Amino acid sequence: MFISSAYAQAAATGSTESTLLSLLPLVLMFVVLYFIMIRPQMKKQKEHKAMIDALAKGDEVVIGGGVIGRVAKLGETFVHIEVANSVELQVQRAAVIQVLPKGTFK
């Protein structure tokens, strides 16, 4: 009496066009993320690797802890940094953050 008859609805057929439109924001977010975050980070890593590969004896550098020194010896994976007279620190090449202009370290 009070309950009306329930009829099954036909299943909605999703079109491929609506599926592509729903994925469009996700794709656009990935593209923006790539150009804003991923690409600049890769460029920075490439520049840092080139700087480390170009290190030479006598270069003045800053290492990870903010210590300034002069490259005394170069090894395959380690660098000896002279921070004072007869005081050398042995650090990994990756610890070198920046190469300073000549004459900065006295």
Q: How many CB atoms lie within 10 A of CB 69?
A: 23
pLDDT of residue 106: 77
pLDDT of residue 23: 87
Q: Amino acid letter at 56? A: A
pLDDT of residue 6: 64
- Inter-residue contact 80 to 73 (CB < 8 Å): yes
pLDDT of residue 8: 61
What is the residue-level pLDDT of the chain in tens, covering all 106 positions? 677 776 666 555 556 677 778 888 999 999 999 999 999 999 999 999 999 999 999 999 999 999 999 999 999 999 999 999 999 999 999 999 999 999 888 7
pLDDT of residue 77: 93
pLDDT of residue 9: 62
- Inter-residue contact 92 to 75 (CB < 8 Å): no
Q: Amino acid letter at 101? A: P
Strand boundaries in the chain, DSSP class E: 60-63, 68-74, 78-84, 87-92, 96-100
Question: Helices H, strands E: what count in the chain?
Answer: 2, 5
